[in-house]
Amino acid sequence: MLTAVMGKESVRAYYAHFGEREWLRLTSPDDGAIEFAITCHMLSIYLPPAGRILDIGGGPGRYTIWLAERGYRVVLADLSPELLEIARARIAEAGIAHQVKAIVEADACDLGAWADGSFDAVLSLGPFYHLPDAVDRTRATKELVRVLRPGGLAFIALMPRYAFLRRTIAIPDERRHLAQAEWVAQLLDEGVFENDVPGRFTHGYGVRPEEVAPFFAQHGLSLSTLLALEGIVSGAQRAVVELAASDPTLYQTVFDILVRTASDPSILGACTHLLYVGRKG
């Protein structure tokens, strides 16, 4: 198994290679558009009207810009200097640099740059599915909770184990891993996803949905919601996105159904991304 340091270096290298595609991913009809729409909907429901927000793992800044445009004071942090460079350019283009208080290279496991209770909310919409080491997950959670003010909100993206299994089945030159009993057991029993294909997603961690709320509760977060970010249309998002242009009224109806059913336990383990929303007690 990779060490934590090696794993973080591989993650940093992956996103350096990914670059502009990470900015575009959350608008892709086949990938992140529904994920982005449902996440923003949940942010609009749970966030206070104003406040200071840390976007840790925010990469090229898509959520930072969304928040800043709505008047929030945002700090953007990420492990990848390449993605942060993209963020600086995009934030300048959006004309909201005055709302973005800092853009910082930082590790989710070490938020020592910020004092206790510094933020009204923390977004961690990526780091946790790159933390296969239990010690790192605990450290990242403790750090996130520490920098939240009492009553502050945490928005944490996660990936279920079956999402990693599904992507392996779908990608031809990664399918050979499925014939490796030890690899499959490591993924399904421990949630650890390692990929030796150069330049691909690796050093991942997949959760069991039923274990998510108890884990975060141990560290002082109470569950507000846990939901599937692609809803029931994981793998079929394009059909919904296309409705936004062809029939906006029907799109809104379908979107409302997706949101209403997104927390159904029967779909949580089969989606691609989960969103945990919790409040510091």
Residue 61 and residue 93 in contact, taking contact as beta carbons nearer than 8 Å:
no
> Residue 22's pLDDT band (boundaries 50, 70, 90)?
confident
pLDDT tens per residue across span 49-95: 999 999 999 999 999 999 999 999 999 999 999 999 999 999 999 99
Please choose, from the candidates 221, 205, 229, 32, the residue with its C-alpha nearest in 3D space to the C-alpha of residue 134. Answer: 205
pLDDT tens per residue across span 256-272: 999 999 999 999 999 99
The pLDDT, as a whole number, for residue 15 is 73
Radius of gyration of the chain (CA): 18
Q: Domain limits of the chain?
A: 4-159+201-280
The pLDDT, as a whole number, for residue 234 is 85
Asked whether residue 200 carries a pLDDT value surpassing 90, the answer given is no
In the numeric block, the tokens 């039923």 are attached to 210
> Residue 97's pLDDT band (boundaries 50, 70, 90)?
very high
The pLDDT, as a whole number, for residue 7 is 61
Residues of the chain with pLDDT > 70, as a percent, come to 96
Give the mean pLDDT of the chain: 94
Q: Which CATH number fits domain 4-159+201-280: 2.60.40.10, 3.40.50.150, 3.40.50.920, 3.30.1330.180?
A: 3.40.50.150
Residue 67, both tokens: 């928040």
The pLDDT, as a whole number, for residue 198 is 86
Q: What is the largest CA-CA distance in the chain?
A: 52
pLDDT tens per residue across span 148-171: 999 999 999 999 999 999 999 999
pLDDT tens per residue across span 133-153: 999 999 999 999 999 999 999
What's this model's pTM, rounded to 2 decimal places?
A: 0.94
- Classified as helix, coil or strand, 152 is strand
Residue 26, both tokens: 């959350």
Asked whether residue 1 carries a pLDDT value surpassing 50, the answer given is no
> Tell me, what amino acid is at 105?
E
Range name among 3-7, 48-52, 154-158, 230-234 with the lowest pLDDT average: 3-7
pLDDT tens per residue across span 210-225: 999 999 999 999 999 9
Phi and psi angles of residue 149, each rounded to the nearest 5 degrees, phi first:
-75, 160
Please choose, from the candidates 155, 202, 163, the residue with its C-alpha nearest in 3D space to the C-alpha of residue 36. Answer: 155
Asked whether residue 20 carries a pLDDT value surpassing 70, the answer given is yes
Q: Could you give the CA distance from residue 62 to residue 22 in angstroms, rounded to a whole number?
A: 9
Q: Could you give the CA distance from residue 238 to residue 22 in angstroms, rounded to a whole number?
A: 18
The pLDDT, as a whole number, for residue 9 is 76
- pLDDT (mean) for 237-249: 95
